Chain A
Amino acid sequence: MTPALLRIVETYRRPLRPAISRAALSALLVLLVAGALLGRYGTPATRGGALAAIAVGVLALLLHRWLDNRRFSSLDGAIAASLGNVDAAQGDKARRALRLAQDTAQAPRGQSAELARLHFERMLERANLSALERSAARSAGRWKAVATLGLLVTGVTAFALPWHLVEGIDVLAARRGQAPVKLQWLELSEISSSAPTYLRQKPAPLTLETANSLPEGSELLFRGKPLRPGRNLVLTDGTKEVPFVDDANGEVVARWTLDATVELHVAARFGRVLISEPQSIQVDSRTDERPRVNLKGAPAELALDTLERLELLWSASDDHNLVQVDLVLRSAGKEERRSLESFPGDKRTGQGGYVLYPSDAFLKRVFLPVIVRIEARDNDPREGSKWGESPAFILRPPGVGMGQLARYNALLGLRSRMLDWLASLPLPDEKLDTERELDQVEQRATLSEIENYGRKSASDSYTSLTVPQGWSVFLEGQFERLGDAIKKRKGLRTTLESVVLGLSSGLDSLASSDSRTVAKQLGDVADEMAFAARLAQQAEGRRDARVRLDLAIDVLAKGASDLTQLGVLGADLGSVATADLGRVQRSRDREDYFHAELAALHMAERLHRPNPSFGAKGGGGGGGVESGSGSSGGGNSDAKGKPSEADKEFQRRAQDLEQLAQDHADLGERTSSALQHAEDAARGTDNGDEARQRAEALRNAVMRLPQPGENPGTGRASAALAREHSGAMAHELEQQHFDEALQNGRRAQSAADEALSDPDLDPFTRGELERAKQELAEQVAWAEAQAQRVKQQTENAAREALGEFGHLERELSERANRLSADDLKEASLPAEMRRRLEEASQLMQQAAQRLGEGKGEEAMDLQRQAQRLLEESETGQMQEPDSKGNQDGGDDDGDGRHMRTGGEVPNQDPKNRAEDFRRRVLEGLGAEGGGRLSPAIKRYAEGLLR
């Protein structure tokens, strides 16, 4: 650039430059203020618009500066922007001169480059610098006016709305909805908390400085005065907001419900932007915890069959309130809850105990492990009461059929010992009497050992099962037979053979009835298995269902295995169960739960009908089928029939005994009833008025005797006693209970005599006593006569009925006599029992005789004695009381083939009859007065107690 041009440019730009810069700055400020005010609305559109406007302004300024510099950087541009801007003609000339000089310099075509440059210089020198300076000054003035206006607008706005500008800029600078600069919005006057009402706590103030710990569900209250009105104030944890509302007292208030641990801020919302206060408040939420329950000794796993009792000592606590404590028993799909404790008031802790016995109805029904827990409930109404549970006791029930198998094996052990004994005896020899040579002592010792084992087996318990009562009696009878044979040195082998066969037969029957029982229980397990398989078909809960299914499969597998060892029917049913279980297991292995369920259902139905797989009435041997009979010559022949009927005979005898006792009890009741009826008739004759008059006379006679309460041992005390007994006699007389009146009268006489023997007795009392004694003597004599009369009349009235009862009693006596006979060797009763029966029979004979003579009371006394002996002679059955019901009307002959359809009325079991007996006695005791039967009732009660 030439010096002349430099002068021109400098002259023109020097005044303009600062003016333009100030105007640009002022424009930027205006844009910023406008942007802040617009951006304060906080919406994306307003914030974007504001930021865009500011950005455009800055860009425009920079562009202008760049263009300006660019224009003055070339000679042509500088001339045009400066000289040309003021004097266009002069400017054009100068630019033409410039082009000529430049062209000549680059390509001289005969022209002088020097001359051309000179021409250009002169053209520039001719420029009017002062005009140029004036023009520039005018432009600068305009730019200054613009700058001043901008500053004015900015200043006015900043003065009028300073916080708007701050907030706007803060909002514009926000990131992710949060403004960078925190501002104070509220002058807080109150921060407090109220716990949920069910906790019954008072409101409490909160502090900003430290963390606060409050129960979940507490309500936090924030109250304060806004520092700048018109802001949309909120209380927020960064996620949730609660607005402050006007409380009509110039303050605003917000309520926050505490659901979780939070850090709360007061903030102002601008569109989508929050400007928070610098301070926050930390509030920790304390969850209402589940009650804590401790169970002493838990967790533990226990075997139910060895458990005698389980003591459940529990303690429970809750952070707020306990409401209820339950004992919870769960097994597979079954659940039973028993309420142990309830707490109506405020109670945070509790403790108690409960004893669970293996005989518990729930435990007796289960076949899968039982989970025993104590569970406690709190009173949380917000989320519903929560249950806390203790560690668990897991009770493993004995396997299905385990008890029956153990019992069966124990009795098999007895048979094994007898077989060993039998095998040890010398084989019979036609020529020699081998038994004569036996060592009697040795044989006795063997028998004794077997007896001990047998008695122990019969009295032992097998996982809560006992041997049916009849077995003990049956075995005692058999032991006695063996003892007799040893003693006589004759028939030991045959007796032992008979005993072994009888025992085997009994075992077969027991095993058969047990098999049915076990099969039905396994049927229940199969039902559970089917249910689990059904649940496993659904996606929800499949995992649990599979566990449940596998558990049931395990129980069934073990049970089926045990069942297989329970005699012939057990082997059959166990084999069926195993086969069906195989089908379930195969389906389960393929995860085909549909078919697993079907197979399990079939299995359950089958086991609930525990009949032999085959045979029915087809006979005890092979399957003598029509199609094969020709080829097998009558079937697959085997030795058929039953080797011993001893158990059947015994069962029959037991039933006969039960029936005899029942019949005799009925006859006793009928006798008693007939006598009572006759006695009532005899009493109700014509002596009522006289009896009342005599009672009154007696009362009058003793009226002046001393009252009870005198010094014991004195004559007056005895006189008082005489008065009391006399009163009782008078009462009995009125009731026409002459026997009782007589007894009371004699006691009164005795007391009067005792009183009179006291030398210190005062004369008045002595006199009254003498008078009373005379009256007593008269009334006693009358009562005695009346008692005799009633007795005579009663017997006369009942004579016909008693005669009939006498015949019946004689028949019953003969039945008892037959039962006591030792004619059924195989099923013989123990000698002691036979002796009791004989004695009962004799008593019954005597009773029959008395009845025939019309001596009812004597007969009844004998009847009662006989009845007691009969009931003591009952043997009980050799199978479980309910096993007959188990048999589905069937009767098994031991080989599992035979089946009898149709029902059989079950006999009353001994328990029920004992219950009936007690009921009769209690009814008797409760009857009015007792009268003539009182002594009998007492004896009955005594017998019952024995």
Chain B
Amino acid sequence: MITTGKLGLVARRYLLSLSLSGPAALPLLVDSPSYAGEDAEQTGTSVRPIANAITELDVVRAHDLIEKTKGASPGLAYERARLAIYVGDCDSAEAILKTLPETPESGRLLDLARACAKATAGSVVVEDKERGVWVRVQDAGDAALVPLIAEVAAKARSTMHDDLGVLLPSPLRIDLVRDLFSLAAVSGLPLEAAETTGTVAVARWGRVTMLSPRAARLGYPWQDTLAHEITHLALTRGSRDFAPLWLQEGIAKREETRWRPVRPFDDKRDPYKIARDALLSGESVGIDKIGPSIAMLPTAHAANISYAEVQSFMDFWIKENGRDAFTLLLADLKGLSTRETDQVMLSVTGFPLSYWIGRWQEHLRSLPVAPEDKPGQADESGSVIQSVRLGDLLTKQAHDDAAAHYFDQALAKDSHTPAVRFRAAAAALKRGDTSAAWERLGDLEAVSGLHGGWLGLHGRMFLERQETERALSELSLAVAVDPYGEEAACEGHGSRTQAPSGAVSAQLPTDPARRKLCEEARTLTRD
């Protein structure tokens, strides 16, 4: 439900532990209402159906149920407030909650509503009705990214439907916030936890709250992050939030890349290989032995293994039982209203969970031994960093020849880092030496990862060579990695590659959406 940075284990531990530690701890992030079922006397009917409808993101049905409910009660008011938060109307939620007698639950929700109202006041809402996506951007400049967000969200929703049998309602609500402070305010995630771990997205309150890629200096893979969080929403809807932790995380990891075609480096992290190695070396954590949270495992290595295990296990299970079985599994979890999966597994497949774990382990053992990864030869002396820094400073100062010297110096010591290749190539291009630029840029096999600038420049050069298909693929990938990087957003055209006589601003993409994104990228200050 939460996507964090590399060192986001502490927050994940805290948050996930809450989600599994029973109703008393739930209100922080698991929004099951303690009022549900308590108001039958006052209203003549229980508010549980309303609460369930809200949890399942069926806000229209929840609204209808509320309208049909006669009388008034704190529980009903609480659900109205919860519904308001689910549809992003934090003002109304706050107003409703202020009228409620103070309880720990209503107090926490009121705090959330207040913080959310402040963080979202005056925001810009852009709705793509055709795709059924509602995006609220805190920074008006992020409106330029909305068409791309809507595209990803629509594809991810469609994939969820195909893969999980869960159709997410329309509109799908996404809050794009400017910083962690706002992410915490809108989602209810404790700020300290968000700051410590570098959380970038949270699926909560029926919405995805995601950090704008502009917040990260070099962007982040926001598309997969969005798909990951949408998966959590789908699982919550499909199981009425009764999906166990290993299932949630396993499916979310599996689905985050399935909405799109395979990309370079997708296979760099092979969950089957990691799980197999762990099993054979005795480091396996176990599917049902994660404990309250993957993040509470003793080491980051163990956490990595655990993620790989749950991802590969769920992938294996679905491959063995089919998509319909998984749909049935979710429905059964919802019907039984429990996170104990043995009973559900038995009813769906005829075998308990332990059987499937055994089958999965057997499968892992049968996998062929994969070749070892060869780590890139990186210069650890620090001179690469120094050369790059000097080159950057000289570039700013318009000493292009001197800058090129330093970038080439860095490239000689580190040919795997795409950022170094990008700089060296850009410097060469700026001097009009296209062949040197090609040479310095290299191809995808030569680099150790994705870099927005590198991809943008590579795409541009393919475009100039009339290799349109490949160019568009790389330019699209560039935006997926770093949408606000100038070279990524502007199809390889930026101040780094522009000769002093040229006008950078004149070189804009022809596609209106990309053009807007490029213009927005050029307004940002990046040192």
Interfacial residues, chain A to chain B (CB-CB below 8 A):
415-416, 419-420, 422-423, 427, 497, 500-501, 504, 564-565, 567-568, 571-572, 574-576, 579-580, 582-587, 592, 595-596, 598-599, 601-602, 605-606, 609, 611, 613-619, 621-644, 895-897, 899, 901
Contacts and interface: CB of A to CB of B under 8 A. Distances in A.
B473 to A, nearest CB: 14
B219 interface: yes
Nearest to A627: B228
B419 A637 contact: yes
A88 to B, nearest CB: 103
B449 interface: yes
A568 B525 CA distance: 8
A446 to B, nearest CB: 15
Given A602-B182, A618-B198, A640-B385, 8 more contacts: A423-B399, A609-B191, A617-B197, A618-B7, A622-B482, A630-B224, A632-B265, A636-B482
Contacts of B198: 614-618, 623, 625
Nearest to A621: B218
B431 interface: no
- List the 7 shortest-distance A-B pairs measured between CB atoms, nearest first: A623-B220, A628-B221, A583-B122, A633-B449, A618-B5, A618-B198, A613-B179
Contacts of A586: 122, 124, 140
Contact of A614 (B3, B140, B215, B225): B215
Contacts of A895: 217
Nearest to A568: B527
Contacts of A582: 122, 139-140
Given A568-B217, A583-B138, A617-B198, A602 B393 contact: no
Contacts of B180: 611, 613-614, 616
**Interface bin, chain B:** 35 or more
Contacts of A595: 121-122
Interface in B508-527: 524-527
Contacts of B220: 622-625, 628, 635-636
27 contacts: A422-B394, A575-B139, A576-B178, A579-B139, A582-B122, A596-B121, A598-B117, A598-B118, A599-B121, A602-B182, A602-B185, A614-B179, A618-B6, A622-B217, A622-B481, A623-B198, A625-B220, A630-B269, A631-B221, A633-B268, A633-B448, A633-B450, A636-B218, A640-B385, A643-B388, A899-B196, A901-B196
B525 A641 contact: no
B138 A643 contact: no
A579 B527 contact: no
A636 B198 CA distance: 15
Contacts of B217: 568, 572, 615, 622, 895-897
Contacts of B123: 583
A624 B394 contact: no
A903 to B, nearest CB: 14
Contact of A575 (B214, B397, B418): B214
B327 interface: no
Given A419-B393, A640-B385, A587 B221 contact: no
Contacts of A638: 218, 417, 419, 451
Given A613-B180, A627-B221, A643 B385 contact: yes
B122 A643 contact: no
A580 B185 CA distance: 14
Given A583-B138, A631-B221, A643 B382 contact: yes
A622 B216 contact: yes
B405 A427 contact: yes
Interface string B85-109: 0000000000000000000000000
Nearest to B10: A617
Contacts of B449: 632-637
B256 A629 contact: no
B4 interface: yes
A637 B455 CA distance: 12
A897 B221 CA distance: 17
Contacts of B179: 576, 606, 613-614
B386 A643 contact: yes
Interface in B118-166: 118-119, 121-124, 138-141
B399 A420 contact: yes
B181 A415 contact: no
B130 to A, nearest CB: 26
Given A615-B5, A632-B481, A419 B121 contact: no
B221 A606 contact: no
A488 B115 CA distance: 63
A747 to B, nearest CB: 69
Interface in B212-269: 213-222, 224-225, 227-229, 252-253, 256-257, 263-266, 268-269
A611 B525 CA distance: 17
Contacts of A636: 216, 218-221, 449-452, 481-482
A632 B401 CA distance: 31
B211 interface: yes
Nearest to B481: A636
Contacts of A616: 5, 7, 180, 194-198
A626 B192 CA distance: 19
Most buried by A among B117, B201, B217: B217
Given A627-B228, A636-B220, A504 B419 contact: no
A427 B399 CA distance: 12
B402 interface: yes
B360 to A, nearest CB: 20
Nearest to A606: B181
A946 B266 CA distance: 70
B331 interface: no
Contact of A627 (B3, B194, B388, B393): B3
Nearest to A589: B122
Given A575-B214, A614-B179, A631 B450 contact: yes
Nearest to A578: B139
Given A617-B5, A628-B225, A637-B451, A416 B397 contact: yes
A702 to B, nearest CB: 81
B389 interface: yes
Nearest to B123: A583
Contact of A625 (B117, B139, B221): B221
B389 A626 contact: no
Contacts of A427: 401-402, 405
Most buried by B among A504, A626, A895: A626
A296 to B, nearest CB: 46
A501 B386 CA distance: 7
Contacts of B482: 622, 636
Given A613-B179, A626-B6, A639 B256 contact: no
Interface in B172-203: 178-182, 185, 191-192, 194-198, 200-201
A626 B119 contact: no
B390 interface: yes
B182 A631 contact: no
Contact of B181 (A574, A592, A605): A605
Contacts of A605: 118, 181
A632 B450 contact: yes
B420 interface: yes
Nearest to B406: A497
Nearest to A598: B121
B7 A504 contact: no
B507 to A, nearest CB: 23
B410 interface: yes
A583 B118 CA distance: 10
Nearest to A571: B525
A505 to B, nearest CB: 9
Contacts of B115: 602
B4 A626 contact: yes
B265 A497 contact: no
A501 B387 CA distance: 10
Nearest to B260: A631
Contacts of B268: 630, 633-634
B384 interface: yes
B8 interface: yes
A415 B397 CA distance: 10
